A and B are shown apart, each in its own frame.
Chain A
Amino acid sequence: MMVLLLALAVGSLFASGTYLIMRRGQVKLILGLALLSHGVNLLLFGSSRLTEGRPPIFLDKKAYAETLAWALPADPLPQALILTAIVISFGITAFVIVLVNRRHTVTATDVVHGEFVPLLREGDPFDFSEHAEGYQHDWLAYEIDEVYDSDDLLTGLPQRQFSEEDESAAMEEDNYQWP
């Protein structure tokens, strides 16, 4: 019975995690990743069989032999594995939250785009002629170096220079010019 419950829990965690990841919003993405990692942790927990009321470690050999006669002792290893996995997923979730936050600041949008959306928006991606100048990612950092070196930006983040109308356009996320 407990096994069935555990399997159901793992399955529903995986399902809802996958569903949330496939949504467009970034906050849902974070939640989805967290749910997925919980699902995996539960699966690891179940990999050692659900034992009840049996100690994992014996201090005297006699008790060990007696226990072995009717059942195997509990297995402590998966809990160590889960602990490691929890630590790793904690770190990664923290990183993803910071990344999403930074992305929100930099690009002023919450939506995750596909790779070729900006290309398609600006014309034919297979047009290699000289006129197709629209798409260029000149992020080149050396030009930004001067901004960083100037020391007056405590945040370390270059402020994007928008003119008045550009800014209002950028708010409507569809007209946003991707770098």
Chain B
Amino acid sequence: MALSANLLAVPVAAPLLTAALILLLAQWGGRRLIRQQIVLTTLALCLNLGVALLLFLATAGQGQRFVLQMGAWTAPFGITVYCDGLSATLLLLTALVSIAVYPFAVATIDYHRERMGFHPLYLFLLMGVNGAFLAGDLFNLYVFFEVLLMASFVLLTVGAQPAQTNSGIRYVVLNLLASTVFLVAAGVAYGTLGTLNMAQIAERLSVASPAVQTLLAGLLLVGFGSKAAIFPLFFWLPASYHTPPPAVTALFGGLLTKVGVYTLFRSFTLFFPDLLVEWRPTLLTIAGATMLVGALGALAQPSIRRLLSFHIISHVGFMLMGLAVALSGNRLAIGFGLGAAVLYLCHHMIVKTALIMAGGAVELHMGSDRLASIGGLVSRQPYLAFFFFLAAISLAGVPPFSGFVSKLSLLQITLDGRHWLVSGVSVFASLLTMINMMRLWRESFWGDYKRPSRVPSRILQSSLRQRLMLTPIAALVLLSLGLGVFGEPAFRLSMRVALQALDRKAYIEAVSPAESFSQPLPIRAAPHTSVGPFPEEADLLDRGRLIVDHAR
């Protein structure tokens, strides 16, 4: 199956054009055309899912890479759009999450927010996320980051409840600071390397001085790490995620931090493969601290959504651990750690979204999500209780579900690398996750039925709305079950994705940037160009192959 590279434009263009159309519709038809807005948004989401599925099958399934040079300008001069297995996996997951949250959002979002443009904002957010996954140069990555941030700012604060504006300020300022750091990194990259194209940066960084490498890696780690909510930079997340409506929290929890994680994966494997080995102690320390702080902080939260959103941080730690051991050459091949991290990413996006939606459903039914004042919902909402329970134990890592496979493989590679401390911390964090989930379940579903709000929840009186809320939760939980039951093929696929992402040479060849005169290169005569391109990686891959042969 030969796909055209032009398909790469669809995940960005389809949401953008549909959102523009919807805005036009809203301007023209006003409040009567909400239903048409919903239909159009659903169509765009379906189109996005279809294209993402095609791209995933072609890249992760058959090992292809797609490069689209916008306007046929060759690489360093034009805008490069790039898609390989890693990008396509995340595109597919984004499409799944957004299409799963959408019915929930339609059922639960209030009319005021719909009138204020909830549906186009949803599409703009999707466009920003997709664009960030597809960007092939640093500045476009920045632009798409800003697109998704802008959409998320408005989604977070639309409705203007006092709590929302409060959290909105913290969220906006901390995220803007992270973007500033990232833009500084882009400026430094252009000043020292003379290019913004990611393939060309990778090419030139391997002969650049260590100072430039360290500076750029540090800036990118702070910028992207702040988006991903790693240990000392996570404060914007627990400050804001509990204030918007549950549907928005589910969407944010499923998508936003994962963009940061993806960019960390991409930038470290592509730009700094040797720093990935050199900085392993630092990265593992950050990962361990992130896991621990996320799980312990979640333990201290008094309400469902605060707990779940604080818990996202802990999972980011697991993914960072996988990235840190990605090049460790253990477990028979290079890339095992990254493969496990990619699998964990899939598991996390699916299950976390389902869980936040289920928690939101509990909150909507009870009128409050404060754990101390609710309880006994299992008698009124047995299906919700059932799926909440399955999602919770999947997140905790109980065997038939996807959490088990991904956590096990991450733990295997970490133990193989003899990183005893961080693996111990990860096991402890998993235990805390279990405790957290059991606490959620016990406080909200068991015991006597008590409901703090005396106002009957209008939202749950309609059975159609209830079904719209339950179906996506059930679908995501079943997906997680499938990912767990078919663990081996899923893991093999994610290994292939990881190996493809680690293959820097193929990335550079696929984009094939031409040499440009546009900028004087400060490092003209590189000291060790004679060693050949990318000695460190060739060396590592050879060693990986040796280990494989030895095992056979």
Contact = CB atoms under 8 A, between A and B. Distances in A.
Given A103-B169, A128-B302, A142-B457, 6 more contacts: A78-B190, A103-B162, A112-B169, A125-B300, A139-B164, A160-B162
B150 A141 contact: no
The SS class assigned to the B binding surface is helix
Contact of A143 (B164, B183, B455): B455
Q: How large is the interface on A (under 10, 10 to 19, 20 to 34, 35 or more residues)?
A: 35 or more
26 contacts: A26-B169, A36-B177, A48-B190, A72-B517, A72-B519, A81-B190, A84-B143, A92-B150, A92-B172, A96-B169, A99-B153, A99-B165, A102-B160, A106-B160, A106-B162, A112-B170, A115-B239, A125-B302, A130-B372, A130-B373, A138-B368, A138-B452, A140-B367, A141-B110, A142-B364, A179-B162
Interface in B167-208: 167-170, 172-173, 176-177, 180, 183-184, 186-188, 190-191
A77 interface: yes
Interface of A: 21, 26, 29, 33, 36-37, 40, 43-44, 46-49, 68, 72, 75, 77-78, 81, 84-85, 88, 91-92, 95-96, 99-100, 102-103, 106-107, 112-113, 115, 119, 125-126, 128-130, 132-133, 135-145, 148-149, 156-157, 160, 178-179
B471 interface: no
A46 B164 contact: no
B183 A85 contact: yes
A179 B302 contact: no
A88 B211 CA distance: 30
Nearest to B236: A115
A26 to B, nearest CB: 7
Nearest to B139: A81
B163 A141 contact: no
B232 to A, nearest CB: 16
For the complex of A and B, list the 8 residue pairs with the smallest distance between their C-beta atoms, beginning with the closest. Answer: A47-B191, A103-B165, A148-B112, A141-B110, A139-B161, A47-B190, A44-B187, A115-B239
Contacts of A49: 520
B111 interface: yes
A29 B168 CA distance: 13
Nearest to B240: A115
B371 interface: yes
Contacts of B436: none
B274 interface: no
B518 interface: yes
Given A91-B150, A106-B160, A43 B459 contact: no
Contacts of A36: 176-177, 180
A37 B165 CA distance: 22
B173 A140 contact: no
Nearest to A107: B162
Contacts of A130: 372-373
B459 A107 contact: no
Given A36-B180, A37-B180, A40-B180, A141 B245 contact: yes
Contact of A100 (B169, B239, B443, B517): B169
Given A141-B245, A145-B111, A46 B163 contact: no
Nearest to B109: A141
B517 A142 contact: no
Contacts of A129: 372
Contacts of A92: 146, 150, 153, 172, 176
B370 interface: yes
A162 to B, nearest CB: 13
B87 interface: no
A130 B165 CA distance: 28
A148 B111 contact: yes
Contacts of B443: 128
B479 to A, nearest CB: 29
Which of B113, B245, B518 is most buried by chain A, counting CB atoms within 10 A of its CB? Answer: B518
Contacts of A85: 183
B187 A72 contact: no
A101 B261 CA distance: 33
Contact of B519 (A29, A75, A139): A75
Interface in B450-492: 452-453, 455, 457-459
Contacts of A88: 143, 146
A178 B243 CA distance: 13
Contacts of A132: 302, 372
A53 B173 CA distance: 39
